[in-house]
Amino acid sequence: MPVPIAFKQEPGSLQKTITLLAADIGGTKTNIALYQAGANGITSLREKRYSSKDHSSFMEIVRDFTGIIGDLSDGRAPERIAAAVAGPVVDGKSKLTNLPWVLDSDTMSKELGVPVRFINDLEATAYGMAGLGGHELMTLAAGDAGAKGNIAIIAPGTGLGEAGLYWDGRNYHPFATEGGHSDFAPRTKTDVELFWFLQRQFGHVSWERVVSGMGIRNIFHFLTEGRHAEIPEWLSRRLKDEDPAAVISEAAIKHEDLVCAETMELFVRYLATEASSLVLKLMATGGLFIAGGIPPKILPLLQSDSWKKNFDNNGRMHDLSDRVPIHVVLNDKMALQGAAWYGAYDM
């Protein structure tokens, strides 16, 4: 179900084929790909994933990737570069939230001799919905299938991203937000205890501190340290050797550990609560899309009663949120795909 995006140049009107590099720069990984774009959309030619922390800059990754592509004399040389960034972008510049890189589109454009543009990764995810297929979605709530209006996107991964798409009556206009860094709002005694636990560590406690990969770790540490709970040896070993958020969520889904299960129950509750708030703030009657790297991996937990109960816990706004269609985006490379759509038709 592609979403009609208001591009500067409609894909069907493109007169020639464009070759471009697109990237999704994150705190954990950077995905980069070579695309061709034409009147019928975009096609990926080659793709590679890099560990972000293993490189000193995005430029280093671009040079490595273009070296791998090899001889570009056959017309595959990129004419443009568009990259999604996990952080705010202002005047073409960005300092990443969870990575010590500083990006400057003007500087890179001069060094590489081609136009370079950076956009927020959630804004890119919104652009990527132009090529969204029905098989890339899992519906949590049908809501009012014929509803029109703005769309909200929330995406927990390494951090927490939020964005919106403004409906003009015909097309959607993506825009970025930094709502993931707004204040966490405790509701229960447990929430308040978690808030104080995190405030002692970080000072400011945002939604990203509880609704993200780092959020899963934070909740788990709160539950184990606060209760002086003993972590099973098998779990302790896996937490040291693997991604803790993935280990905790997997153990919860498989019912292997009670603390992991409680961690993910809180995570899902917080995700539902903030997602519902985002829908209200954006008046997103057109739908909520849950993207990012974590949701496709925890689908059984999102299909639980806990999600529905907490998403609809809006008091007098219950009737509004109950009508909102809710979908999980199964494609975890939407930001990369969106950077390519943006680079092809909106630069």
CATH number at residue 298: 3.40.367.20
d(C-alpha 172, C-alpha 225), whole Å: 46
Q: Which residues pair with 46 in a beta bridge?
A: 34
* 73 pLDDT tier (thresholds 50, 70, 90): very low
Phi-psi region of 136 (alpha: psi -120 to 50; beta: other; left: phi over 0): alpha
Same domain, 216 and 204: yes
pLDDT band at 68 (very low <50, low <70, confident <90, very high): low
pLDDT band at 134 (very low <50, low <70, confident <90, very high): confident
- CATH assignment of the domain containing 63: 3.30.420.40
Q: Does residue 104 lie within any of the structural domains?
A: yes
Specify whether 200 is located in the same domain as 232: yes
Q: Quick one: average pLDDT of 158-186?
A: 96
Helix (H), strand (E) at residue 175? strand 172-176
For Cα atoms 73, 35, 48, give the angle at the middle one, nearest 5 degrees.
Answer: 95
Distance, in Å, from the CA atom of 189 to the CA atom of 35, rounded to the nearest integer, reads 50
Q: 1 in a domain, yes or no?
A: no
Question: Would you say residue 70 has pLDDT above 80?
Answer: no
Q: What pLDDT shows up at residue 195?
A: 97
Residue 231 has what pLDDT? 94
125 shares a domain with 105: yes
Structure tokens belonging to residue 234: 């098998």
Q: Which pLDDT does position 152 carry in this prediction?
A: 98
Residue pair 326/103 in contact by the 8 Å Cβ criterion = no
- What are the respective helix, strand and coil percentages of the chain, to the nearest 5? 45, 25, 30
Average pLDDT rounded to a whole number, residues 225-245? 93
Q: What is the CA radius of gyration of the chain?
A: 21
pLDDT per residue as tens digits for the range 19-63: 999 999 988 899 999 999 988 889 999 999 999 999 999 999 998
Query: What does the pLDDT read at residue 72?
Result: 46
Total residue length of the chain: 347
Q: Within a 10 A sphere around the Cβ of 209, how many other Cβ atoms?
A: 24
Give the domain range for residue 77. Answer: 11-129+333-345
pLDDT for the residue 69: 53
Tokens representing 299 are: 């689908």
Query: What integer best gives the mean pLDDT of the chain?
Result: 92
Longest Cα–Cα distance of the chain, Å, equals: 65
Residue 70's SS3 state is coil
